[in-house]
A and B are shown apart, each in its own frame.
Chain A
Amino acid sequence: MSSTPQFLGRNVFDLDDYSADEIMYILEAAKGMKEINLREYKKIPTLRGKTVCTLFVENSTRTRLSFELAASRLSADVVSFQASVSALQKGESLQDTVYTLNAMGIDLYVIRHSSPGAPQLVHKHSGKPVMNGGDGRHAHPTQALLDIFSIWEKLGALNGLKITIVGDILNSRVVRSNLIGMKKLGAEVTVCGPRTLMPGYMEDVYGCKVEYDLETALKDADVVMGLRMQLERQTEGLFPSLEEYTKHYVLSKETLKFAKKDALIMHPGPMNRGIEILPEIADSQQSIIVEQVANGVAVRMALMFLVLGGKI
């Protein structure tokens, strides 16, 4: 690494704003944070006096808790604002909400929103650094970082690894951010799912491979990631039934025979056991699904630490 990357005050909209070196730097920092999380006294005073606001306009208790835990372990104050999209559409706009929160002296925003680009809007109206906790189908950079961290921790450098992501690619922000990050670090990524759930131009936009057949997609994979398959896609006319989906795309002992023998199994959660992944795989030795959750807190701590210029 030539020079120490600068993170102070930066937004984390998505990973395309970060170089491979910077991503590696974040992973190293997360490693340090993970150690803190293993201590008995899991708290450092580094962000004392700073205030982090989690602004969740789309429900996700898991993600919100992970961010809030990360902030409090760094001794930052946390305020939590939750609203439904419909409330925000009828009443106060996102812009007004941000003005209100800003007046309370927020130093960092974490936003989760169903509409792509909402984090950019929050930054525009707050002037504060914004961390994207998931914006529609667009991006989920902290999830991607924790996924990348989890792989790196187990397998070392991502360069040359074959990573296969299976499921509803169309509706997945996790895939998009992961593709950006993993490609930057030199992995070969294949995405796989039914054609109706595959966005156009994937190869052009991300330089990944697209497969519609699970066996082909899994061939020689070092890492396999399943994605949540939602019933509502059926009523949207995108696939016939969960049963048929499972028949063709489920991660099972049977289908994983095509991947490398000890391929890592991942899932960003929440899982639909029996639909996109069978318990025999989700709970297997190869699975790091539970560790992903733990790593999420460490990665988010690292990012907050770097963006808010914390000192040890």
Chain B
Amino acid sequence: MRTLIKNGTVYQKGQFTQKDLLIENEHILDIADKINIPAEQVIDASLKYVFPGFIDLHSHLRDPGQTYKEDIVSGTRAAAKGGFTTVCAMPNTEPVTDNIAAVEYIHRRAKDLGFCKVKVIGALTKKQEGLEIAEMASMKKGGIVAVSDDGKCVQNARLMMNCMKYAVNYQLPIIIHAEDYNLAGKGQIHSGKVATALGLSGIPPIAEEVIISRDIMLAESTKAKIHIAHLSSAKSVEMIKDAKTRGLQVTCEVTPHHLVLNEEACISFDTNTKMKPPLRSEKDRQTLVEALRNGTIDCIATDHAPHQDFEKEREFDYAPFGVIGFETAFAVLYSELVLPGVLSLERLIEALTVSPARVLGLPSPELEKGACADLCLADLDQKTPIYSDTLLSKSKNSPWINLELQGKITCTFCNGRVTWQG
């Protein structure tokens, strides 16, 4: 089976050029100015962009255990719709993905039924309880790409140090959800003006910052490779910049919601603006955008965290934290950052593809001859509608629900197979 994509604006090595691209089975057979080889399927992409398939380092597929929120099938379908060809599944499933059998279950399900590649992140501590080191060595044999207690945070510094030492031995990066429980307290949103006005308990930025500071120091001492998840504050950016300058193996990610929304979004008590870490001040947001531009922040990750309406549709204090992100990530960032000229399309695509691959040491997702055919097509003149009945995720907890965003992923190929078309 051959598919010829004609005249697309193709992203290659950080640049866009008009090219033809020929897919044969799972691979890119050729990519050139003009390809005149007969193909079963020809796609006229003269008004479209061709990007490498997006890679998401941070997602919650909820499978096993909470499949009423999402499962591997619905989650990867939603991901494919958003242009993703690889997603990393966080281990806070039920039971926790903290052993090789659990890792193999996800790999097998994804391989049999998935609409994109699923990489597994193993738990850092058993049951993510923050008490004992998880079986990282066995899980590494099972193919995990990193370890993390995401959703939770190891509070005990001594245990964290030992986790790092242990992980170094298996070249496993540690992904850190930075949250000091005592400082975060019963906080619901950023401890800023909006929290004061709404009378909601605040989560101060320092709840994130003290852990980042601690873990940078621990990583320096143990030589561990750490990746800070979902950065939210300006001070966090500063600390990571400093750590990078000192040559430490520290990387970080930012979510689309932290890049385009701030605490003001919570004013209406919309529980789809409730997540951890919380949406922070406008100054924090601007710092995050600048850090993404200049590379201090390595990449974008969605932190796709599905919750059902009945869970979200309740008192703000009792609604769970988290929002979905697969189907909105590209369109949100294109509409809110690229269109207004704040972020280049080149950097956006890099931060969704090459950069996350580099963070986890995955093969670089270049569009080149012989490469795996993981790619997506985008029409920037079309809109992505975000409605309950258009979202493929089982859950609809998006802050952009009922909006139409500019820019649309029209087609996704994973391993040369069409996984989304619309």
Which residues of A are interface residues toward B (Cβ below 8 A)? 89, 93-95, 113-118, 120-121, 135-139, 173, 176, 199-202, 204-205
Q: How far is the CA of A263 from the CA of B192 in the complex (A)?
A: 34
Question: Is B314 within 8 A of A93, CB to CB?
Answer: yes
Residues of A near B200 (CB, < 8 A) are 116-117, 136-138
Q: Which residue of B lies closest to A93 (CB)?
A: B314
User: Which residue of the partner chain, among B192, B269, B314, contacts A116 with CB atoms under 8 Å?
Assistant: B269
Given A93-B310, A120-B269, A200-B191, CB of A115 within 8 Å of CB of B196 = no
Most A C-beta atoms less than 10 A away, residue of B197, B310, B314, B316: B197
B199 touches A136 (CB 8 A): yes
- Complex: A269 Cα to B343 Cα, angstroms: 54
Q: Given the complex, which residues of B lie within 8 Å of A205, measured CB to CB?
A: 193, 196-197
Contacting pair A201 B199 (CB below 8 A): no
Q: Which residues of A contact B310 (CB under 8 A)?
A: 93
Answer yes or no: B157 CB below 8 A from chain A CBs. no
The secondary structure that dominates the A interface is: mixed
Are A135 and B199 also in contact (CB < 8 A) when A114-B317, A117-B269, A121-B315 are? Answer: yes
Q: Determine how close the nearest CB of chain A comes to the CB of B315; give it in whole angstroms.
A: 4
A-contact 0/1 string along B179-204, CB 8 Å cutoff: 00000000000011101111110100
Task: Return chain B residues, CB-CB under 8 Å to A135.
Answer: 199
Contacts of A201 in B (CB 8 A): 192-193, 196
- Contact: B196 with A117, CB < 8 Å? no
User: B170 in the interface, Cβ–Cβ < 8 Å?
Assistant: no
Q: Give Cα A121–Cα B316 distance, bound, in whole angstroms.
A: 9
Closest 6 CB pairs of A and B: A117-B269, A138-B199, A137-B199, A115-B315, A115-B317, A199-B196
Nearest Cβ in chain A — how far from B279, in angstroms? 16
CB under 8 Å from chain A, chain B span 41-89: none
Contact with A along B303-321 (1 / 0, CB 8 A): 0000000100111111000
Please measure, in the bound complex, the distance between the C-alpha atom of A176 and the C-alpha atom of B315, giving whole angstroms.
Answer: 20
A137 to B200, CA, bound (A): 7
Q: Which residue of A lies closest to B188 (CB)?
A: A116
Residues of A within 8 A of B269 (CB): 116-117, 120-121
Count contacts on B: residues with CB < 8 A to the other chain: 19
Which A residues are in CB contact (< 8 Å) with B193? 200-201, 204-205
Which of A94, A137, A139, A204 is within 8 Å of B315, CB to CB?
A94
A138/B198 in contact, CB under 8 A: yes
User: Given A121-B269, A205-B193, do A173 and B315 touch, yes or no (CB 8 Å)?
Assistant: no
Q: Which residue of B lies closest to A176 (CB)?
A: B199
- The CA-CA distance from A201 to B191 in the complex, in Å, is 10
A200 touches B315 (CB 8 A): no
Chain B residue contacts of A120, Cβ below 8 A:
268-269
B192 contact set on A, CB distance < 8 A = 200-201
From the candidates B191, B202, B315, name the one contacting A117 in the complex (CB within 8 A): B315
Which A residue's beta carbon lies closest to that of B266?
A: A117
Complex Cα spacing A176 to B198, Å:
9
In the complex, A199→B269 CA distance in Å? 19
Apart from the given pairs A113-B315, A117-B269, A199-B196, 11 other A-B contacts in the complex at a CB distance below 8 Å? A93-B310, A94-B314, A95-B313, A114-B317, A116-B269, A117-B200, A136-B200, A138-B200, A139-B199, A200-B191, A202-B196
* Known pairs A121-B269, A200-B196, A204-B193; A116 contacts B317 (CB<8 A): yes
Shortest A78–chain B CB gap in Å is 24
Select B198's contact among A94, A117, A204, beta carbons within 8 Å: A117
**How far is it, in angstroms, between the C-alpha of A95 and the C-alpha of B200 when the chains are bound?**
20
Minimum distance in angstroms from B182 CB to a CB of chain A: 9
Query: Which chain A residues lie closer than 8 Å to B199 at the CB level?
Result: 116, 135-139, 173, 176
Q: Are A117 and B197 within 8 A (Cβ)?
A: no
| Residues from chain A with Cβ under 8 Å of B191 in the complex | 200
Q: B residues within 8 A CB of A137?
A: 199-200
> Once bound together, how far apart are the Cα atoms of A94 and B200, in whole Å?
19
CB-based nearest A residue for B182: A237
Q: Return A123 CB to nearest CB of chain B, in Å.
A: 11
Contact residues in A for B198 (Cβ distance below 8 Å): 116-117, 138
With the chains together, A115 CA to B315 CA distance in Å?
Answer: 6
Across-interface contacts of A199 in B (CB, < 8 A): 195-196
